[in-house]
Structure 1
Amino acid sequence: PCMTYNVDEHQSDNHYNCPLVAYYPEVIAANMDFDKTKIVYPFINFDHDATFAKAIRMHFEKVGIHFSEKDIIIAKNAATNEYEAFHEQLVKEHRKAVAYARENNHPIIVLCGRPYHLDPLINHQMNQLLTQLGFVVVSEESVPRQKNHKVNVLNQWTYHARLYQAAHYVVENKDMNLIQLVSFGCGIDAITSDEVRDILKDGNKFYTQIKIDEIDNLGAAKIRLRSLKEAIGQQKGA
């Protein structure tokens, strides 16, 4: 579906999806030939049950699939509960990883990016490079949801709100550092990177950014990560 708004995680002034995520179905439909296959990509909003159910029913009926609006709302509620359960499990695994790191004296990296960066062909398995260097790695999506920290930018994008919250979380934990993955020349990252850098700098933390769509080989990335580990070690020993 096309989704102007993401799920409201109550961590920001608004909860937009970025244009790439929000309208990618339109890009696919305009640029790919599906022959006789019918592609259904309604514009939906999770914030209002009645509007959501009406849109789903209308668009599926156009291709001969029929659901009652009551059943659609039941399915939506079940999906919402499952999504929340997934996040709770993610936070639980996050806490286990942090506990393991502290028990074994490993440095912790909160690896930040967007959900599509989870694809190993996109992220170049940056998480594995970090674990090979002795870091314990957790994602910013697994960070326990924080109070709505004040930031110096208009905080209206769900993914970016997670990033800012993760930066504040790292500042509050002495054994954590943050790496921000960026890709696809996202213009908004010109704002997010400055804000995250400022949050970390105010907390006496290092800021590391890796542009994963500019990597021809992993040599340069490995040097950056090794340098970060050395700098963390020096800071710890100071």
Structure 2
Amino acid sequence: DYMKDIRKKGSEIIDKARLEHKQIIVLAGRPYHLDPEVNHGINKLITSLGAAVISEDIIAARTKKQPVDVLNQWTYHARLYSAAEYVTTQADMNLVQLVSFGCGLDAVTTDEVRSILEKHGKIYTQIKIDEITNLGAVKIRLRSLFAALEQ
């Protein structure tokens, strides 16, 4: 089963990161955002900064569905909100949300994910991937996230 294999590999990444005392970044985005051609290799940039990277579908099933402040009728949104809830229970995990400016539904998800994370004291980080011309600005944003986490 594909999802079972994905979650197993994700658990291995989490276990290894914890043994090595690394931050774990949940890189959350629509399925097409995870394509390296679309996201410009953001996952590799995060690992080059010393963190482990997993996708939201690896952890979304680890928590019960929580009530949200929006109409939640899409599978991706439900998975995203569940992943955000789970991240709030893990000291070594943070979520970075990839969004597309042209996708109107991302406006809804960003507000809800921000609310979930911030009400539990987590930092919300968003990257608009269709505004990227080079990774310099993304690198600065991610370095700022890691610096804030160290404080």
- Structure 1 length normalisation: TM-score? 0.62
Partner residue, 2:105: 188
2:40 maps to 1:142: no
Structure 2: how far apart are the matches of 1:119 and 1:127?
10
What residue identity is the alignment partner of 1:221? V
Secondary structure in 1 aligned to 2:126? Answer: strand
Deviation of 1:144 after TM superposition, in Å, equals: 4.7
Structure 2: how far apart are the matches of 1:197 and 1:139?
17
Gaps of 5+ in 2: none
Partner residue, 2:32: 116
What residue identity is the alignment partner of 2:59? V
2:6 maps to 1:107: no
For residues 64-143 of structure 1, the aligned pairs below 5 Å read 85-143=1-59
What residue identity is the alignment partner of 2:111? D
Partner residue, 1:160: 77
1:50-109 deviations in whole A, cap 9, x for unaligned?
A: xxxxxxxxxxxxxxxxxxxxxxxxxxxxxxxxxxx1111111111111111110100000
Deviation of 1:133 after TM superposition, in Å, equals: 0.2
Deviation of 1:143 after TM superposition, in Å, equals: 1.5
**Counterpart contact for 1:91–1:144, Cα < 8 Å:** no
Structure 2: how far apart are the matches of 1:229 and 1:144?
23
**Counterpart contact for 2:85–2:117, Cα < 8 Å:** yes
What residue identity is the alignment partner of 2:7? V
Structure 2: how far apart are the matches of 1:115 and 1:180?
12
- In the TM superposition, structure 1's runs of 4+ consecutive aligned residues that sit over 3 Å from their partners are none
Greater relative contact order structure (CA < 8 Å, 6+ sep): 2
What residue identity is the alignment partner of 1:231? A
Structure 2: how far apart are the matches of 1:174 and 1:217?
31
Gaps of 5+ in 1: 1-84
**Counterpart contact for 1:167–1:196, Cα < 8 Å:** yes
Overall identity of the aligned pairs, in %: 58
Structure 1: how far apart are the matches of 2:75 and 2:18?
30
Secondary structure in 2 aligned to 1:188? Answer: helix
CA radius of gyration, larger in: 1
Structure 1: how far apart are the matches of 2:141 and 2:70?
28
2:93 maps to 1:176: yes
**Counterpart contact for 1:129–1:222, Cα < 8 Å:** yes
Deviation of 1:172 after TM superposition, in Å, equals: 1.0
- Structure 2 length normalisation: TM-score? 0.96
Deviation of 1:202 after TM superposition, in Å, equals: 1.1
Structure 2: how far apart are the matches of 1:115 and 1:190?
17
Over aligned residues, Cα RMSD in angstroms?
Answer: 0.9
